[in-house]
């Protein structure tokens, strides 16, 4: 099992938003085990020169165009879209690992690609590859991510280590791999639902006479403040909800109107569709 320390060599394949968020989080976090890492530990693999230049200037990390660095890596993050992950894995196996059986001290592969199973990832890597899957979300970029971490039941130590790392970037939980589609539905895609809610709250405020700017500011702060209160107080969500809803008051009237339009059912239907799409990506 690798340890995250000053000597750990990390390769991040994919310098997009999530790849950059991982890089920034590992460098900025003061929490163990990420606190042991710095820019010198990390190399980013990305095909675009403009993106490589930006990442190098912003984070001080080395950036390369291809996967040749992986032969030196202890940990390899697979931070690319599910559709291109197979070709990336083929390049890794062909160009770096050469199809040989991986030894006990082989790199640990950490995939954040939605829907692509550990078995599928391993099928494109040499025998013995160690793989952990993670479903993070966009707030990882501001160290407030929500992540689900899963292994295949054969690498509990690796899973524990990865969970500790992602806990440095927000909240992280170990789940069964079969539950990662549900994690995708709740938290992976959840920020989009929250944005849609904020927009709806903003537009409702505008219809009631507020300016767009003021209404959006109030909506954003309300969502942020409510989540922070629930998290920091430790009070169960349903109890917070009940405490806000005075009998016969304004809040209960608003919620009743939302439920009449199918608020809860719509959210659940959206999550179901998201989870199903994640499963479809995994099957394709």
pLDDT tens per residue, range 236-279: 999 999 999 999 999 999 999 999 999 999 999 999 999 999 88
pLDDT digits (tens, 9 = 90+) for 190-225: 999 999 999 999 999 999 999 999 999 999 999 999
CA atoms of 279 and 180, how far apart (whole Å): 9
Length, in residues, of the chain: 284
For residue 64, the cross-strand partners are: 45
Q: Rounded to 5 degrees, what angle do the CA atoms 255, 236, 254 make?
A: 10
Residue with tokens 């003021």: 214
Mean pLDDT of 4-23: 93
CA atoms of 221 and 223, how far apart (whole Å): 5
CA atoms of 265 and 273, how far apart (whole Å): 12
What residues have CB less than 8 Å from 275, skipping those under 6 apart?
181, 182, 184, 185
DSSP class of residue 33? T
Q: Does the pLDDT of residue 145 top 60, yes or no?
A: yes
List of domains in the chain: 10-178 (3.40.50.720), 190-283 (1.10.3730.10)
CA atoms of 68 and 95, how far apart (whole Å): 7
Element (H, E) at 143: none
pLDDT of residue 108: 93
Strand order across the 170-174 sheet = 62-64, 42-45, 10-13, 75-78, 108-111, 130-135, 145-150, 170-174
- The region that residue 262 occupies, defined by phi over 0 for left and psi between -120 and 50 for alpha, beta otherwise, is left
CA atoms of 106 and 127, how far apart (whole Å): 11
Question: 140-154: b or e for each residue (b if 16 or more CB lie within 10 Å)?
Answer: bbebbbbbbbbbbee
pLDDT digits (tens, 9 = 90+) for 152-205: 988 899 999 999 999 999 999 999 999 999 999 999 999 999 999 999 999 999
CA atoms of 75 and 119, how far apart (whole Å): 19
Q: Rounded to 5 degrees, what angle do the CA atoms 49, 70, 176 make?
A: 105
Both structure tokens of 121 = 């990832």
- Asked whether the beta carbons of 121 and 89 are under 8 A apart, the reply is yes
pTM for this entry: 0.90
pLDDT of residue 142: 92
DSSP class of residue 101? P
Both structure tokens of 13 = 């394949």
CA atoms of 238 and 273, how far apart (whole Å): 25
CA atoms of 282 and 276, how far apart (whole Å): 10
Q: Cα-flanking dihedrals φ and ψ of residue 148, to 5°?
A: -110, 135
Both structure tokens of 260 = 């009449």
């Amino acid at each position: 099992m690798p340890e995250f320390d000053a000597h750990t060599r990390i390769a991040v394949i994919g310098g997009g938003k999530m790849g950059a968020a991982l890089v920034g989080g590992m460098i900025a976090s003061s929490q163990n085990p990420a606190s042991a890492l710095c820019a010198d530990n990390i190399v980013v693999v990305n095909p675009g020169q403009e993106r490589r230049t930006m990442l190098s200037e912003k984070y001080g990390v080395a950036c390369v165009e291809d996967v040749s660095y992986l032969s030196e890596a202890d940990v390899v993050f697979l931070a690319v879209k599910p559709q291109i992950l197979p070709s990336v894995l083929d390049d890794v196996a062909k160009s770096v690992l050469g199809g040989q059986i991986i030894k006990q001290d082989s790199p640990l592969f950490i995939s954040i690609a939605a829907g692509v199973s550990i078995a599928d990832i391993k099928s494109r890597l040499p025998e013995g590859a160690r793989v952990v899957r993670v479903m993070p979300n966009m707030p990882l970029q501001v160290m407030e991510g929500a992540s689900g971490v899963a292994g295949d039941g054969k690498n509990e130590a690796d899973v524990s280590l990865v969970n500790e790392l992602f806990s440095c970037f927000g909240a992280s939980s170990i789940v069964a791999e079969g539950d990662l589609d549900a994690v995708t539905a709740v938290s992976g895609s959840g920020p989009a639902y929250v944005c849609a809610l904020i927009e709806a709250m903003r537009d409702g405020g505008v219809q009631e006479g507020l300016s767009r700017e003021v209404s959006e500011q109030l909506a954003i702060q309300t969502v942020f403040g409510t989540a922070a209160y629930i998290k920091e107080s430790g009070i169960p969500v349903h109890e917070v909800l009940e405490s806000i809803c005075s009998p016969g008051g304004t809040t209960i009237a608003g919620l009743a109107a939302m439920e009449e339009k199918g608020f809860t059912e719509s959210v659940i239907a959206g999550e179901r569709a998201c989870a199903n799409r994640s499963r479809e990506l995994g099957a394709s």
